[in-house]
């Protein structure tokens, strides 16, 4: 059994990240993104790689507000599911979040049991302070719109659960 490590993503990883998530996009588990979006956000990504250098997982941390970030595009290769890759990626993203001064993490997911095991809870109708809401609603970022539960992203998020973790 091969081991893996987590590292910061590089631009050379973008094609492998795109290939990793493509089956999940086809199964409507993750939203599709243009390759340029991955390049624009490459510094937000951490990747899991085998000793042989194969990319087997990826996940991103996107800052949304002074204390709030989003876990995005967390994906693991099918043959590596259940082997701790997702846990290691999420743990790394949480460490990054703390280092940035964040105290809350948001995710939009179908993988509710996985995130519950890691301390996330269903947000329900929870939102943010009205003054913060007024600032966030100005963002063109779909992740922010998902967090705020705005109607413009509803067609893309039906069936997903909005989850939050505080630390």
Q: Domain map of the chain by residue range?
A: 4-166
CATH of 4-166, one of 1.10.238.10, 3.30.565.10, 3.40.630.30, 3.40.50.1980: 3.40.630.30
Q: How far is CA 67 from the centre of its chain?
A: 16
What is the predicted pLDDT for the residue at 142? 73
Helix locations, the chain, DSSP H: 14-26, 35-40, 85-100, 112-117, 130-136, 142-148, 154-157
Count of beta carbons in the 10 Å neighbourhood of residue 139? 14
Per-residue pLDDT at 154 exceeds 90 = no
State whether residue 124 is helix, strand or coil.
Answer: coil
Which residues, at least 6 apart from 156, have a Cβ–Cβ distance to it below 8 Å? 31, 142
pLDDT value at position 67?
A: 92
Q: How far is CA 104 from CA 18, 110, 164, in A?
A: 27, 19, 7
Question: pTM for this structure?
Answer: 0.87
Q: How is residue 16 written in tokens?
A: 């492998």
| pLDDT tens for each residue of 57-113 | 999 999 988 999 999 999 999 999 999 999 999 999 999 999 999 999 989 898 999
- pLDDT of 141 reads 75
Backbone angles phi, psi at 14, to 5 degrees: -55, -45
The predicted structure's pLDDT at residue 155: 52
How much is the average pLDDT of 127-145? 73
User: Tell me, what's the pLDDT at 139?
Assistant: 75
The conformation of residue 110, written as its DSSP 8-state character, comes to S
């Amino acid at each position: 059994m091969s081991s893996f490590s987590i590292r910061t993503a590089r631009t050379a990883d973008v094609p492998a990240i795109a290939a990793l998530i493509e089956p999940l996009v086809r199964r409507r588990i993750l939203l599709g993104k243009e390759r340029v979006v991955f390049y624009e956000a490459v510094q937000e990504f951490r990747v899991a790689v085998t000793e042989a250098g194969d990319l087997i997982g990826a996940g991103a941390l996107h800052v949304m507000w002074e204390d709030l970030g989003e876990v995005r595009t967390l994906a693991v290769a099918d043959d590596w599911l259940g082997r701790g890759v997702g846990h290691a990626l999420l743990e790394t993203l949480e460490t990054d979040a703390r280092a940035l001064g964040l105290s809350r993490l948001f995710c939009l997911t179908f993988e509710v049991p996985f995130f519950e095991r890691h301390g996330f809870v269903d947000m329900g109708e929870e939102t943010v302070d009205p003054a913060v809401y007024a600032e966030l609603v100005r963002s063109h970022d779909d992740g922010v719109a998902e967090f705020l539960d705005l109607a413009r992203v509803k067609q893309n998020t039906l069936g997903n659960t909005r989850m939050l973790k505080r630390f």
